[in-house]
């Protein structure tokens, strides 16, 4: 079975060392030494000043919206994971969708201004697949209209924009360290800001508002993370350069192998250092996307439709047509990409896609009811392939 992703796991002994230290101290949560160490090492690695490790990436988004005291309408993208929209709604604001750029699949900055009303308080954009948005243009629009900017940078560990961590942009950026993400702590997330006052505010909000054992600076909630998740983060951070390098090699191999496929890949921002967090592929037609996914599933290869559905079609939002996004959602697929994926498996995935496309072309040229189906043809070939690997 080849899933779309598999979590990176350090050697068990590496994790055990941290566990032993936890048992020794018997300090499990509440700002423990491993959590502090993880925050410190993250700052060093990313070369940034401020961040807070929190319980997950969705809470990080909620915390950002809360700390900026956003009200009314928040301009956002229809093409992201559901948490981008659900956290807006959860915090009592209304998502207003702006369609995506047909090349990058990030929010289209040229369409933002026409969506601004006197109720707009912020722009919440996702750097889709770890590829930075048009950050400069978005910031110019926000400055002109007095709006806050939040980036959902859940896919962005290791991505840089103009030689700085992409987490440095916007009023607040958030990320996720969920098990499916490039760097994970099993469950976890973080908020980033360059503003020390905002950081302090979020520090209180994260921990019940405590500013002493019996003192409270503000309202707060429990958004803390704990020693065990920090331990996993510390282990994985040691391997993150290796993880980034491996993904780059695998992705480059995919690009080579898929050169003859009628498909498009997102256009990468030119001011970036990319992290190869996902391998998205936009088929020419929905039909071909479905056929390829079906053929891959016959060989127990499972891709995922990141992202489907369009968030602008969720049952709890004011539903709107987003022509570019609605079209991309039908044709997009993320191919398997993870640290332990092998090159022979990757080759097999590419050959199945290639054959499906080629037979699709042949089949559509044959008279109807000719009796040849893609499934028949490919099944024999797949069996051949399997005998190789
Ligand atoms: C994973 C993800 C989230 C949510 O993160 P969790 O840590 O699972 O809560 C939010 N936004 C995007 C774009 C994501 O991919």
Question: In this predicted structure, what is the pLDDT of residue 361?
Answer: 80
Q: Is 138 exposed, middle or buried (0-12, 13-18, 19+ CB in 10 A)?
A: buried
Q: Which protein residue's CA is at the shortest distance from atom 7 of ligand 1?
A: 57
Q: How far is the CA of 154 from the centre of ligand 1 (A)?
A: 5
Q: How far is the CA of 348 from the centre of ligand 1 (A)?
A: 30
* Whether residue 58 has its Cβ less than 6 Å from ligand 1: yes
Question: In this predicted structure, what is the pLDDT of residue 369?
Answer: 60
Give the residue, out of 79, 83, 229, 307, with the most ligand 1 atoms within 8 A of its beta carbon, to mutate for a pocket test: 83
Question: In this predicted structure, what is the pLDDT of residue 272?
Answer: 86
* Whether residue 189 has its Cβ less than 6 Å from ligand 1: yes
Question: In this predicted structure, what is the pLDDT of residue 384?
Answer: 66
Q: Look-up: residue for tokens 């207003």?
A: 96
Q: Look-up: residue for tokens 């429990």?
A: 222
Q: In this structure, what token pair is assigned to residue 191?
A: 């908020």
Q: How far is the CA of 58 from the centre of ligand 1 (A)?
A: 6
Q: How far is the CA of 83 from the centre of ligand 1 (A)?
A: 6
* Whether residue 86 has its Cβ less than 6 Å from ligand 1: no
* Whether residue 130 has its Cβ less than 6 Å from ligand 1: no
Q: Which protein residue's CA is at the shortest distance from atom 2 of ligand 1?
A: 154
Q: How far is the CA of 249 from the centre of ligand 1 (A)?
A: 25
Listed in sequence order, the residues at least 6 apart from 65 whose beta carbon sits closer than 8 Å to its beta carbon are: 74, 87, 88, 91, 93, 122, 124, 150
Q: Which protein residue's CA is at the shortest distance from atom 6 of ligand 1?
A: 57
The CA distance from 68 to 332, in Å, is 34
pLDDT tens per residue, the chain (389 residues)? 999 999 999 999 999 999 999 999 999 999 999 999 999 999 999 999 999 999 999 999 999 999 999 999 999 999 999 999 999 999 999 999 999 999 999 999 999 999 999 999 999 999 999 999 999 999 999 999 999 999 999 999 999 999 999 999 999 999 999 999 999 999 999 999 999 999 999 999 999 999 999 999 999 999 999 999 999 999 999 999 999 999 999 999 999 999 999 999 999 999 889 999 999 999 999 999 999 999 999 999 999 999 999 999 999 999 999 999 999 999 999 999 999 999 999 999 999 999 999 888 877 777 766 666 666 666 766 666 666 55
**Domains of the chain by start residue, with CATH:** 12-237 (3.40.640.10), 240-388 (3.90.1150.10)
Q: How far is the CA of 173 from the centre of ligand 1 (A)?
A: 13
Strands 189-192 and 51-54: antiparallel
- Half-sphere exposure for 245 (CA within 13 Å, toward CB): 4
* Whether residue 152 has its Cβ less than 6 Å from ligand 1: yes
């Amino acid at each position: 079975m080849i899933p779309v992703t598999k979590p990176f796991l350090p050697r068990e002994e590496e994790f055990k060392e941290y566990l032993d230290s936890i048992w020794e101290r018997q300090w499990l949560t509440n700002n423990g030494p491993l959590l502090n160490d993880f925050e410190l090492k993250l700052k060093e690695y990313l070369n940034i000043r401020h961040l807070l490790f929190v319980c997950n990436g969705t809470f990080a988004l909620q915390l950002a919206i809360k700390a900026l005291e956003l009200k009314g309408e928040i301009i956002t993208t229809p093409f992201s994971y559901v948490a981008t929209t659900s956290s807006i709604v959860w915090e009592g604001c209304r998502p207003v969708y702006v369609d995506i750029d047909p090349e990058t699949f990030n929010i289209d900055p040229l369409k933002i201004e026409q969506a601004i009303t006197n109720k707009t308080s912020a722009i919440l954009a996702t750097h889709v697949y770890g590829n930075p948005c048009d950050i400069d243009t978005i910031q110019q629009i926000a400055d002109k209209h007095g709006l806050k900017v939040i980036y959902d940078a859940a896919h962005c560990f290791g991505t840089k924009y103009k030689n700085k961590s992409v987490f440095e942009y916007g009023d607040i950026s958030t990320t996720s360290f969920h098990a499916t993400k490039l760097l994970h702590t099993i469950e976890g997330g973080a908020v980033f800001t360059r503003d020390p006052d905002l950081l302090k505010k979020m520090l209180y909000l994260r921990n019940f508002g405590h500013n002493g054992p019996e003192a409270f600076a503000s309202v707060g909630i429990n958004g803390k993370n704990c020693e065990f998740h920090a331990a996993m983060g510390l282990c994985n951070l040691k391997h993150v350069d290796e993880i980034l390098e491996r993904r780059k090699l695998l992705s480059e191999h995919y690009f080579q192998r898929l050169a003859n496929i009628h498909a498009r890949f997102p256009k990468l921002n030119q001011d970036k250092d990319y992290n190869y967090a996902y391998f998205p592929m936009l088929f020419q037609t929905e039909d071909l996307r479905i056929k390829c996914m079906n053929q891959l599933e016959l060989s127990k290869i499972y891709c995922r439709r990141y992202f489907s559905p369009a968030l602008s079609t969720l049952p709890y939002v004011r539903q709107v047509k987003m022509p570019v996004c609605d079209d991309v959602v039908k044709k997009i697929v993320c191919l398997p990409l993870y640290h332990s994926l092998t090159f022979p498996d990757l080759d097999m995935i590419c050959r199945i896609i290639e054959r499906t496309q080629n037979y699709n072309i042949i089949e559509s040229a044959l008279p109807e009811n000719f009796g040849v189906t893609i499934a028949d043809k490919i099944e024999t070939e797949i069996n051949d392939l399997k005998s190789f690997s």
